[in-house]
Chain A
């Protein structure tokens, strides 16, 4: 299987490990990732406010790149997934909008016809690849590991734009954990919001929200956490200490990117998975599952 690969901005800077490990597990599972040369930032939740026409144009351009190759788009970030899916939906539904945007894009010889689907790696793993294929590739299933699934918000809501999981009772990330051999741990905050998008101007809010969910997961008995979004990862892992400080808590919960957890179960080691880049050390987890 082949997908147009859209990593987004964070995996090309702060969470470079996500990009690297995604490529590794894709190769192992025979998913061909085709690079899109020069795809721009999706605009996040800001661009549509800032300049709606430019927002649609930039994303139509990205989608057109995938369309040119006859491929669907694979994302590895919740916000990229939602934003591109929403832009795609609007362009497909609103003929006038599509025409207007294509007019602007014609200046750079680009046209989008609405032929692309936008899918998150998590969904692709569960449906296109499938549990059997994945299990067949596991060398060290994560038996005994209690993993808290942190979905984050943009992979679940609004369901009109995404449609894979029931936003009130999602199952995909728990299923993923089970396929990797681990035991999912339920906690209320699993579908809530880490607050990343407010971080630059409202850091205390993001830190407080994040801290709350870390505490819940820890209280529920989790050894570690997994998340399909690099932005959530940056909050949960990168700001864990700050969250503890703000809430007066003592959570020590290592966090994995989605492909890192899978890579671990597939037999990749600490260096291959670039686990050194985690703020909260994963050494304890590796020791626990005998992978030091």
Chain B
């Protein structure tokens, strides 16, 4: 590769009616990053191009952009032969590739993103066993780059009541810290964790490899369902119960047990449609040797 072509989003809300794309050709150097491409353009071709960056090494989280439609840190993403570079989605545009992230910062602020601890430790430095921090350690890597928020389809819909993966990471960071003793369950509920569709888009986008699904969402779900009744909790418990009872999960049975009254009517309409197509089994099928599952469950319960 001798050169790369970058189609870059340009927009100045204070002067332009609408956005446009400018195409630039940039000489390629071994190991070049998208940030290198942007810097070349800003230094040699168009000094008015606006974009954020600081550390150049995935610690500050400033340089988030969309590269060929995917949210990436410009400083880490390899330059490709042809690139379309755009600002992160779903946020007001300041200028060109710079977006206004206040909305996300306010969501984070609302979940008390700091250690809350009523009592001082017995002595300082405290005796802290590293094994107790295994869950929280990867979460502390979060640099608030908002790649996850940009990849999340539910956040992309601006779904009411869902504060997004970045907020949930900041919440879980404290919730799973053994030193924190604030009851963070109400905030978790407010943050709408149950609207996560478990699609792993955030995990795929995270530049510092935080396993957001298992490390954050599932941990929050665990803690929440232990403490507070909720529709999600009922759904989760029913799933488990049906497996132990029958081995397989019959969707009709699941829906029947979980559906709330307000959804009853619409569910009935769908239910009838599905029934007429033969898609509904009213009775749940049991697997042969279902007692094996029950035995396993009993043994596990005893071992705890």
Give A contacts to B, CB under 8 Å.
Answer: 9-10, 12-16, 37-41, 43-51, 53-54, 57-58, 61, 103-105, 107-108, 110, 153-154, 157-159, 167-168, 188, 192-193, 195, 197-198, 200-203, 205-206, 208-209, 212, 238-239, 242, 276-277, 279
In whole angstroms, what is the CA distance A48 to B213 when docked?
Answer: 11
In contact, A49 and B296 (Cβ under 8 angstroms): no
Can you list 21 A-B pairs with a CB-CB distance of less than 8 A? A13-B248, A13-B279, A13-B280, A15-B279, A38-B247, A40-B287, A41-B249, A46-B236, A48-B214, A53-B300, A107-B299, A157-B201, A157-B204, A167-B204, A195-B154, A201-B258, A203-B267, A205-B157, A277-B277, A277-B278, A279-B277
In whole angstroms, what is the CA distance A54 to B244 when docked?
Answer: 10
Inter-chain contacts of B69 with A (CB < 8 A): 188
Inter-chain contacts of B236 with A (CB < 8 A): 46, 49-50
In contact, B194 and A108 (Cβ under 8 angstroms): no
User: Does any Cβ of A come within 8 Å of B12's Cβ?
Assistant: no
In contact, A58 and B296 (Cβ under 8 angstroms): yes
User: Does any Cβ of A come within 8 Å of B289's Cβ?
Assistant: yes
* Stretch of B30-38, B90-98, B218-226 lying at the A interface: B218-226
Starting from the known contacts A44-B239, A168-B70, 15 additional A-B residue pairs (CB-CB under 8 Å) come to A10-B251, A12-B285, A37-B288, A43-B240, A44-B249, A45-B198, A48-B214, A48-B218, A108-B292, A108-B296, A153-B197, A157-B201, A192-B199, A201-B260, A277-B279
Inter-chain contacts of B18 with A (CB < 8 A): none
Mostly helix, strand, loop or mixed at chain B's interface?
helix
In contact, B277 and A9 (Cβ under 8 angstroms): no
Q: Which residue of A lies closest to B204 (CB)?
A: A157
Inter-chain contacts of A38 with B (CB < 8 A): 247, 287-290, 292
Inter-chain contacts of B263 with A (CB < 8 A): 203
How distant is B165 from chain A, measured CB to nearest CB, in Å? 13
In whole angstroms, what is the CA distance A208 to B153 when docked?
Answer: 11
In contact, A49 and B153 (Cβ under 8 angstroms): no
Inter-chain contacts of B300 with A (CB < 8 A): 51, 53-54, 57, 104
Our pick among A46, A110, A201 for the contact of B240 (Cβ within 8 Å) is: A46
In contact, B157 and A208 (Cβ under 8 angstroms): yes
Our pick among A40, A158, A198 for the contact of B200 (Cβ within 8 Å) is: A158
Q: How large is the interface on B (under 10, 10 to 19, 20 to 34, 35 or more residues)?
A: 35 or more
Inter-chain contacts of A202 with B (CB < 8 A): 194-195
Inter-chain contacts of A46 with B (CB < 8 A): 235-236, 239-240
In contact, B154 and A205 (Cβ under 8 angstroms): yes
Inter-chain contacts of A39 with B (CB < 8 A): 287
Within 8 A of A (CB), among B237-288: 237, 239-240, 242-244, 247-252, 254-255, 258-260, 263, 266-267, 270, 273-274, 277-281, 285, 287-288
In whole angstroms, what is the CA distance A40 to B246 when docked?
Answer: 8
Q: Which residue of B lies closest to A209 (CB)?
A: B153
In whole angstroms, what is the CA distance A286 to B172 when docked?
Answer: 51
In contact, B159 and A205 (Cβ under 8 angstroms): yes
In whole angstroms, what is the CA distance A40 to B154 when docked?
Answer: 31
Q: Mark each residue of chain B from 187 to 227: 1 if its CB lies under 8 Å from any CB of chain A, else 0.
A: 00000001101111101100000010110001001100100
User: Does any Cβ of A come within 8 Å of B303's Cβ?
Assistant: yes
Q: List the 6 shortest-distance A-B pairs measured between CB atoms, nearest first.
A: A193-B199, A157-B200, A153-B199, A50-B240, A46-B239, A40-B247
User: Does any Cβ of A come within 8 Å of B231's Cβ?
Assistant: yes
In contact, A192 and B201 (Cβ under 8 angstroms): yes
User: Does any Cβ of A come within 8 Å of B297's Cβ?
Assistant: yes
How distant is A118 from chain B, measured CB to nearest CB, in Å? 17
Inter-chain contacts of B154 with A (CB < 8 A): 195, 205, 209
How distant is B132 from chain A, measured CB to nearest CB, in Å? 17
User: Does any Cβ of A come within 8 Å of B232's Cβ?
Assistant: yes
How distant is A261 from chain B, measured CB to nearest CB, in Å? 20
Inter-chain contacts of A157 with B (CB < 8 A): 199-201, 203-204
Inter-chain contacts of B221 with A (CB < 8 A): 49
In contact, B303 and A200 (Cβ under 8 angstroms): no
In contact, B239 and A201 (Cβ under 8 angstroms): no
In contact, A104 and B197 (Cβ under 8 angstroms): no
In whole angstroms, what is the CA distance A46 to B234 when docked?
Answer: 11
Q: Which residue of A lies closest to B239 (CB)?
A: A46
Q: Which residue of B lies closest to A278 (CB)?
A: B277
User: Does any Cβ of A come within 8 Å of B39's Cβ?
Assistant: no
In whole angstroms, what is the CA distance A57 to B266 when docked?
Answer: 37
User: Does any Cβ of A come within 8 Å of B136's Cβ?
Assistant: no
Inter-chain contacts of A108 with B (CB < 8 A): 289, 292, 295-296
Q: Mark each residue of chain B from 92 to 134: 1 if its CB lies under 8 Å from any CB of chain A, else 0.
A: 0000000000000000000000000000000000000000000
Our pick among B232, B247, B280 for the contact of A41 (Cβ within 8 Å) is: B247
User: Does any Cβ of A come within 8 Å of B4's Cβ?
Assistant: no
Within 8 A of A (CB), among B32-76: 69-70
In whole angstroms, what is the CA distance A154 to B251 when docked?
Answer: 19
User: Does any Cβ of A come within 8 Å of B84's Cβ?
Assistant: no
How distant is A4 from chain B, measured CB to nearest CB, in Å? 15
How distant is A19 from chain B, measured CB to nearest CB, in Å? 12
